[in-house]
Structure 1
Amino acid sequence: MKILLMLRDPFYKANPKLIEELRELGEVKVLYTDNGIEKEELKSEVKDVNIILVAVVKIDKDVIDAAPNLQYILKYGAGYDNIDVDYAYQKGIRVTNAPGLNAQSAADHAFGLMLSAAREIPKKVKEMKSQSWQLSMGYEIHNKKLGIIGFGSIGQALAKRATGFDMETIAFANHKDHEAAKKLNVTFVDSNQLFKEADFIIIATSLTGLNKHLVNKTTLSLMKPTSFLINISRGALVNEEDLFYALKNNMIQGAALDVFEMEPTMSNLPQLENVVATPHIGGATFESISRIGNISVSNIKKLINGEKLEYEVR
């Protein structure tokens, strides 16, 4: 087996045993792609591979067609919107992801972003490093209303954390897990109600063809002027121009963004005073990377042995 790895650059250092274990299964080629990779170079790199293990690089029809020996694509994470799954299956290529394995990491990061935005922590840290001692007023998250968009493994992990802050939690989701909602004291509402009522909104849903720019000038206009938007899912769920306008004109209090429509982003959003921004690190913990690495190696072994794959996308 010829295996091509295209992970986030720090993932290799965070989980060195992954490459060692994969080398026991076949020939391994490692690409560092955080600075991007040109389509023609990518097509050249995949031409003789059997397996692609990928994080964020786009595996579209052109790339799949350039890989005549490709049998299997593994997404190193949960969201697989960067993979043309339908076309892969037309070509007889299997696709799996790793749902829920980075949920705890993403939920931790979302709460870190929420606290950072509410208390202007990054701004205060920057001032202190410049030897500036200035008081500023922030907002508590205790007893506030949390709105979660999406109620899968990450949404449920968020709701569980919210109980520790005595937050009232509402959620908007297409797939409603009523049993989990009852256990976590979560009330399902429609999207308009969530945008109107929540003090903090965390986006934790997958990107589909139907929900692109779910957050736009219409939904932003429903939000309270004291509310905060946090996005840890996919950048394309937010219309960045509309959000920039809303923040610039104080329509909402602030935003905390881990994801952007184009990455690395060229957006002006991170430059705004009322924005906390991080470079898509929600799932980037040593623990989650290890869990995903383990399931990836296990699934490749299953493919080789003709066994049933875990988390097959379809």
Structure 2
Amino acid sequence: MGVILVTSRSFSDGDLDLLARAQIAGHRILRGPAHHELQEMRPLLHGADAWIAGTGPVTAEHLAAAPRLKVIARYGVGTEAVDLEAAAQRGIPVTNTPGANADAVADHAVGLMLAALRFIPDGDRRVRDGDWGVRRGRELGAATVGIVGFGRIGQGVARRLGGFGSRVLAADPFLPEEAVRAAGAEPVTLDDLFTRADVITLHAPGGQRLVDAARLATMRPGTVLVNTARPDLVDETALAHALRDGILAAYAADTLDGDTAASASPLLADDLADRVTVTPHLGAQTTQAVDNMGRMALDNAIAVLAGNPPVHPVTR
């Protein structure tokens, strides 16, 4: 019997019984902490044959503590927290779950657009304070929406916007123009997108700064910015200034720099509460997405433990 260490909080927390699925395949699930703190992880890693890893770091030190480890199955898409070089040196394949949460995140991105354009969170707060004064919003169908990053999630957003009647622009350096058009968007450069869009939604990989003071200065006054991707894509201090100056009408995000430790973020200032909406990583938190991520991660682990190639390998 193989031991599959799981450090994702939501694994098997949907409709699928993944614990039973692992048992049928001849393996036992062992739970570990999502933060991956090394001292706490050492005894768990020592006996692990596979690791279904959450968002915590997977370092060379973690791998050195796991002499039996045969596969790292990321529960999700991003692998920036995994030391891919260290895993390759040890001959440990790394996998992920591409597309598992794409529909959930696309739904959430459109929801944040609507929340920002129609002042929904602010309206709720004001009603609770006895203020029934109205704020005039804008319709999503009347907006030009720019999608930065046109992969599975970005294309899912474009499909949803088609039902609203929005004009859709998309910037993605890795997709040919004909593929962008086939998916329902007008291909544009990143600079062009930022100057033309009324609403901009970020779906690019982390590790880059796409929105800083210089780029904000090129945007149309009153733009709405949505970020369900990564916090490092934006300069939060510059965003706060742009909100106060009226360049940005609203910022709606599913993440902040530092996340749970981000209480000091300039975007959480009291005077910006009517223009900033932040959700706590809700984008992928649907029953369907949790089931998809868990099933795909477990299938990757079971395949490798059975001596077969992984279903969704990650290459460096």
Tell me whether the two structures share a fold, i.e. TM-score over 0.5: yes
Q: Which residue of 1 aligns with 2:148?
A: 149
CA distance in 2, matches of 1:2, 1:244: 47
* TM-score in terms of structure 1 length: 0.91
Q: Comparing 38-47 with 233-242, which one deviates more in the overlay?
A: 38-47
CA distance in 2, matches of 1:57, 1:91: 20
1:257 CA drift (Å): 0.7
* TM-score in terms of structure 2 length: 0.90
1:270 CA drift (Å): 3.5
1:196 CA drift (Å): 0.9
Is the 1:151–1:177 contact (alpha carbons within 8 Å) kept by the matching residues of 2?
A: no
1:251 has 2:250 as partner: no
Q: Which amino acid aligns with 2:267?
A: L
Q: Which amino acid aligns with 1:115?
A: L
Q: Comparing 149-158 with 271-280, which one deviates more in the overlay?
A: 271-280
> Residue deviations 1:49-69, cap 9 Å, x none?
221112211112222223222
1:17 has 2:17 as partner: yes
1:70 has 2:66 as partner: no
Structure 1 alignment gaps of length 5 or more: none
Give the superposed CA RMSD. 2.0
Q: Which residue of 2 aligns with 1:295?
A: 296
Q: Which residue of 2 aligns with 1:269?
A: 267
Q: Which amino acid aligns with 1:307?
A: N
CA distance in 2, matches of 1:12, 1:291: 10
1:179 CA drift (Å): 4.3
CA distance in 2, matches of 1:37, 1:302: 24
Q: Comparing 167-176 with 291-300, which one deviates more in the overlay?
A: 291-300
> Residue deviations 1:86-113, cap 9 Å, x none?
2211221111111112111000000000
> Residue deviations 1:188-228, cap 9 Å, x none?
211111111111111112224xxx22211111111112101
Give secondary structure in 2 for the equivalent of 1:276.
Answer: strand
Q: Which residue of 2 aligns with 1:104?
A: 103
CA distance in 1, matches of 2:239, 2:46: 41
Q: Which amino acid aligns with 1:27?
A: R
Q: How many aligned residue pairs are there?
A: 308
Using the aligned pairs only, state the percent identity: 30
CA distance in 1, matches of 2:279, 2:45: 30
Q: Which residue of 2 aligns with 1:127?
A: 126
Q: Which residue of 1 aligns with 2:231?
A: 235
CA distance in 2, matches of 1:228, 1:214: 15
Higher relative contact order (CA 8 A, sep 6+): 2
Q: Which amino acid aligns with 1:278?
A: T
1:43 CA drift (Å): 4.0
CA distance in 1, matches of 2:76, 2:158: 21
